[in-house]
Amino acid sequence: MFSFQVGSLLNIALILGTVLGAAALLIWVERRLLGFFNDRLGPNRVGPFGILQSVADVIKLITKEDWIPPFADKLPFVVAPIILPIVMLLSFAMIPFAPGVGIIDMNIGLLFVMAMAGLAAYSAMLGGLASNNKFALLGGLRAAGQMISYEVFLGISLLGVVILSDSFSLRGIVEAQSDGWYVFPQFIGFMVFMVAALAESHRWPFDLPEGEAEIISGFNTEYSGMKFGLFFVGEYIGMLFMACLIPVLFFGGWHAPFGLEFGNEIISGLFWMAAKTSVFIGFFVLVRAALARPRYDQLMSYGWLVMLPLSLLNLLITGAIVLMQGS
């Protein structure tokens, strides 16, 4: 009955549809959850429980003016918002959702994901530079400095997982976790990656590139209509991607905890993958509601002086233990 195969047309259509739908739903989920955290209701008017709020927002954004300011550099101004959602959606091609469900199974999956995360920095940088607005320039600079700093140990923190599984393929990493999740031997790596992932997708509390209390809206100050919408939805797709990547790398992907598998292995795998992703989405929203934004110099010295040495130490210790066990 179910004959899923990685890379089939059905898979591509279903995954793209699910990711776009989930990203739209995520905007509503976050606003609604933040509402509850702040002791208010959140959007609850459009559709049941306000679930169609994102649809209404998209219709509104599409019918807004496609405005390019006369003082902006036209080409980079238009290209910048396109980059972010495209690279974030392309990263999803590597995610193994369940046995047989995925777009492509590459042996360099992790490197591809890292490359796409690096390209995402161009979006905020070009957007800030092309706007010819002082606040946008400051936001673009902050985005560039923050993203390249945290990208250094975003990669290094994952090397422990690569050493343990002996593979760059995300599907291989999940399969290697069938007898134990990597969050236990790689707890330091997991914590460092979590912080780096928040900073890379400039989610709260690392939203200094946008810092609305200081620099209006940062790099997207001059953007409006659908171009702003693309920045916005790109950020949510990025958050969804990180919430999918963390279970894949550290929490066993589609493997069920405590042997709680049921029925078909694909259905069970998709259920557990979705459950783990939801937990991390909830965590990201909770972090946004709970933590305040650090100062920029605190952010930089924290990254370079705490997180980078910690991830290098984690790498060396993991390597030494693996070699000791091997010999």
Residues 163-192 binding another protein (CB under 8 A) are: 163, 166-168
77, 83 Cβ separation under 8 angstroms: no
| Residue 185: CB minimum distance to another protein, A | 14
Closer residue to another protein (CB): 103 or 198: 103
Considering only 24, 113, 116, 162, the residue that binds another protein (CB under 8 A) is 162
Smallest gap from Cβ 148 to another protein, in A, equals: 4
Part in contact with another protein (CB under 8 A); list of ranges 5-13, 176-184, 192-200, 283-291:
5-13
CA distance 189 to 160: 7
Within a 10 A sphere around the Cβ of 242, how many other Cβ atoms?
24
Nearest distance from residue 239's CB to another protein, in Å?
17
Q: Which stretch binds another protein (CB under 8 A): 33-41, 182-190, 256-264, 318-326?
A: 318-326
Q: What are phi and psi of 238, to 5 degrees?
A: -65, -40
How many residues make up the chain in this entry? Answer: 327
Q: Does 137 bind another protein (CB under 8 A)?
A: yes
Q: Dihedral angle at the C-alpha atoms of 8, 11, 14, 20, nearest 10 degrees?
A: -100
> Is the CB of residue 88 less than 8 Å from the CB of residue 116?
yes
The reply on whether position 327 binds another protein by CB under 8 A is yes
Residue with tokens 């195969």, as numbered in its chain? 5
Question: Interface mask (CB under 8 A) for another protein, residues 56-95, using x and -?
Answer: -----xxxxxxx-xxx------x---x--xx--xx--x--
The burial of 61, by beta-carbon neighbours within 10 Å (0-12 exposed, 13-18 middle, 19 or more buried), is given as: middle
Considering the complex, state which of residue 24 and residue 285 has its C-beta at the smaller distance from another protein: 24
By CB under 8 A, is residue 132 in contact with another protein?
yes
Whole-angstrom distance, CA of residue 304 vs CA of residue 310: 10
Q: How far is the CB of 64 from another protein (least distance, A)?
A: 6
> Under 8 Å CB-to-CB from 144, ≥6 apart: which residues?
121, 124, 125, 128
Options 186-194, 261-269, 282-290, 301-309: segment touching another protein (CB under 8 A): 301-309
Among 195, 230, 243, 285, binds another protein (CB under 8 A): 230
